[in-house]
A = this chain, B = another copy of it.
Amino acid sequence: MAEPAASEDQIARLRLIRSENIGPVTYFQLLARFGSAAAALAAIPDLAARGGGRAPKLASRASVEREMEQVARIGARYLFLGQGLYPPLLAELETAPPALVAKGHLSLLDRTKVAMVGARNASAAACRFARMLACKLGEAEVAVVSGLARGIDTAAHDGALETGTIAVVAGGIDVFYPPENEARQRAIAERGLLIAEAPPGVEPRARHFPYRNRIIAGLADGTVVVEAAPKSGSLITARCAAEFGREVMAVPGSPLDPRAQGCNQLIREGATLIQTADDVLEAISPLRVRPFRQRELDYAAPAAAADPDERDRRAVAGLLGPTAVPVDELIRQSGLSPATVSIILLELELAGRLERHGGGRVSLP
């Protein structure tokens, strides 16, 4: 069979990821099982039926072609997981975005990258510190990654705007949020690099921010937290970085300052204390020669497991409940092969009868 043209494959990939009930983990499993996005699209109705539900609404070719035209019109382009310029560190994530929309200097992706995050209501002193730190990291040819939020994010982008900064936004690449950062977002698309997981035009919502945070942490060799209260979003980004095996760094502050307590707590948990840009460079230096662990998307050899039978399906479905359990646990308790359990879960998910959680856990929706 002839390999489809690159653009046909990309249309199929976009249709798959823009379809209902198909997140990054499912996307990856479908490609691994069916060898291509087109084959996965063709198989989905049948899979969903076996999972006991109606097939998810697949994104139409027309809607995806409209999106592609819009991306081109904006002057942006796509990066597809496992292809071309897609950032290798980000590709390591179990939840790596199947497609990114990017606008600006893609060469920044080749640099060592450090994420800088922190409180939106940070003190003036902390913003000044973040700006100086970002500037010095930029001068050392390190790209500074952040989320274009108010406070520390803004300071980090400003400090590194001349030398190299990457902004990851929670909505569409052409949606300006927060509104007062419109000029900054435009400037980064011109002089730095702007990245979005969502299609153009999407307004950011609360649930998008944790997804955005995983990309920030996943792109970077390490994450520096500057002034963050306990239980803040910045700490979630830091925990993502730790989970991805990246360096976690934090700028300390007085225990009397509530805005420093999140950072101090991170340091207590093992984050590297940062006082200067040199401290950051020292902390990430071993990673500069770190071997990439990019996952293989091996199209030539789809998983060879036989289709599961009804008894297997009932066994797995019977083990699921409203509490999220690790997939490993389902494999152990069902006595089925990992490949079989994986297919059954895929069927259930496509049928809208399964929810996936962090850390490879699943539950009833």
User: For chain A, which range describes its interface: under 10, 10 to 19, 20 to 34, or 35 or more residues?
Assistant: 20 to 34
Bound complex: CA A251 to CA B268 (Å):
11
Which residue of B is nearest A226, CB measured?
B255
Is A129 positioned at the interface, with any CB of B under 8 Å from its CB? Answer: yes
* Chain B residues within an 8 Å CB radius of A274: 255
* Chain B residues within an 8 Å CB radius of A206: none
* Chain B residues within an 8 Å CB radius of A273: 252, 264, 267-268, 273
* Chain B residues within an 8 Å CB radius of A126: 254
* Chain B residues within an 8 Å CB radius of A265: 275
Min C-beta distance of A260 to chain B, whole Å: 8
Interface string of A253-276 (1 = CB under 8 A from B): 111100011001101100011111
Interface string of A130-161 (1 = CB under 8 A from B): 00000000000000000000000000000000
Which residue of the partner chain, among B128, B253, B254, B272, contacts A268 with CB atoms under 8 Å? B272
Interface string of A87-110 (1 = CB under 8 A from B): 000000000000000000000000
Which residue of the partner chain, among B129, B252, B254, B276, contacts A267 with CB atoms under 8 Å? B252
Min C-beta distance of A264 to chain B, whole Å: 5
Min C-beta distance of A229 to chain B, whole Å: 13
Bound complex: CA A44 to CA B49 (Å):
99
In this complex, which of A126, A129, A267 has the most chain B Cβ atoms within 10 angstroms of its Cβ?
A267
Which residue of B is nearest A123, CB measured?
B254
In this complex, which of A251, A255, A265, A272 has the most chain B Cβ atoms within 10 angstroms of its Cβ?
A255
Known: A268-B272, A275-B261, A275-B264. A253 touches B251 (CB 8 A): no
Bound complex: CA A248 to CA B261 (Å):
20
Bound complex: CA A254 to CA B126 (Å):
9
Interface string of A239-256 (1 = CB under 8 A from B): 000000000000111111
Interface string of A52-82 (1 = CB under 8 A from B): 0000000000000000000000000000000
Bound complex: CA A317 to CA B129 (Å):
56
Which residue of B is nearest A272, CB measured?
B268
Is A279 positioned at the interface, with any CB of B under 8 Å from its CB? Answer: yes
Which residue of the partner chain, among B252, B255, B261, B268, contacts A255 with CB atoms under 8 Å? B252
Which residue of B is nearest A274, CB measured?
B255
Is A125 positioned at the interface, with any CB of B under 8 Å from its CB? Answer: yes
Bound complex: CA A15 to CA B256 (Å):
50
In this complex, which of A126, A129, A251, A264 has the most chain B Cβ atoms within 10 angstroms of its Cβ?
A264
* Chain B residues within an 8 Å CB radius of A253: 252-254
Pairs across A and B, CB under 8 Å, 6 listed: A128-B256, A252-B260, A255-B275, A267-B267, A268-B273, A268-B279
Please list the 6 inter-chain residue pairs (A to B) with the smallest Cβ-Cβ separation, ordered nearest first: A252-B252, A255-B275, A268-B273, A267-B273, A253-B254, A264-B275
